Structure 1
Amino acid sequence: MSDMSSGLDRDRDEEGRARNARPRDGLGRPLPYGAEGVARQPEGVVRTPAETVAQAQALLDAGRPFHAHEVFEDAWKSGLDGERGLWRALAQLAVGLTHAARGNTSGGARLLRRGATGVTTWTETTGRQRPYGIDAVRLTTWATDLAAEVEQADTPVDAARRAPSLHGD
């Protein structure tokens, strides 16, 4: 019997781990099998911090914060122990924008605030205010302002239009 809902026949990666192979839209939502989706970010890619920031910024600018989150998540999982808090917080900001763009305003606001707190905590702990050129102060202001806005408006945001500039330009 090959029934996807029973869990007997699941999508698996090369190592046998369960992976959803369904195509996804630009905000990471699963689409029906056979639908035209956007290219997914490969998982487990080790990038330099500069490559991580550049690739994530390009994805944010393209209105693909879910995919930017995956880039930050790779850095979080493979980065130096002392930097994992920064990458985790940046991933939370990207997921917060994803939820806000999908219309989950309360979840989006919560994750934007959690990410902003994470960035602030990391910079205060390390004393680094512009890690890899990221303007931490401006980024946390962006996140807290957007969180308040999405809660008040209670409508989805345009992910590309509301994407942050990590470098603060």
Structure 2
Amino acid sequence: MSTSHSGDRDRDDAGRARNARPRDGLGRPLPYGSPGVDRQPEGVVRTPAQTVAQAQELLDAGRPFHAHEVFEDAWKSGPAAERDLWRALAQLAVGLTHAARGNARGGARLLRRGADGLTAWTGEPPAGLDPQALAAWAGRLASRVERNPAPVDAAACTPRLRKAS
């Protein structure tokens, strides 16, 4: 997919709006022409195992915004029975993004929303995911950023997505 910048909005070859500005590791837009980090391609269909592995790599690298994009692909392309799970994981990643950017209020809110979604999810977790441990992690991090609104180090706060084996 190529993206062009002209006038008011960036558009892809199909005419859909796409922001082509480079982004930093936390997904913040940078000026055109600036070096940024590689973006995650949109609309990629992955297996649950591929989704979890790629998202974990991005989280470990301190790139939760980009992990959110991977979870969003699973949420939008996966089976209907798993969509709430993937959406909750995307919310956790965005919550961590906000906390790392110093937006404690938004970070805590999204971390708690994702934790609620994980706690409510009753299906068999795909790809070894550990929804209960992730919900607990999110609750602890939300409380931490509410007490201390300073930006967190996203890589140092990374959750483990899979159950310990």
TM-score range, shorter chain: over 0.9
Structure 2 residues not aligned, in runs of 5+: none
- Listed one character per residue, the Cα deviations across residues 75-129 of structure 1 (whole Å, up to 9, x for unaligned) are 0000001000000000000000000000000000000000000011112xx3x3x
> What's 1:45 paired with?
44
State the SS of the aligned residue for 1:12: strand
Is the helix fraction higher in 1 or 2? 1
Is 1:157 the counterpart of 2:152 in the alignment?
yes
Is the strand fraction higher in 1 or 2? 2
Kept in 2: contact 1:96–1:108 (CA 8 A):
yes
Q: How does 1:8-47 map to 2 (within 5 A)?
A: 8-47=7-46
Q: Residue 131 of structure 1: CA displacement?
A: 3.1
> What's 1:132 paired with?
127
Give me the TM-score of the superposition, normalised by structure 1: 0.91
> What's 1:84 paired with?
83
Equivalent-residue separation in structure 2 for 1:50 and 1:139 (angstroms): 17
State the SS of the aligned residue for 1:11: strand
Give the stretch that moved more between structures: 21-30 or 132-141.
132-141
**Percent same amino acid at aligned positions?**
73
Kept in 1: contact 2:49–2:126 (CA 8 A):
no
Is 1:74 the counterpart of 2:73 in the alignment?
yes
Q: How many residues get paired?
A: 160
Equivalent-residue separation in structure 1 for 2:84 and 2:11 (angstroms): 29
- Listed one character per residue, the Cα deviations across residues 135-159 of structure 1 (whole Å, up to 9, x for unaligned) are 1111111000000000100110000
Say which of 134, 137, 147 aligns to 1:142.
137
What's the Cα RMSD here?
A: 1.4
State the SS of the aligned residue for 1:58: helix
Kept in 2: contact 1:139–1:168 (CA 8 A):
no
- Listed one character per residue, the Cα deviations across residues 39-68 of structure 1 (whole Å, up to 9, x for unaligned) are 000000000000000000000000000000
Q: Residue 8 of structure 1: CA displacement?
A: 4.3
Q: Residue 167 of structure 1: CA displacement?
A: 1.4
Kept in 1: contact 2:65–2:97 (CA 8 A):
yes
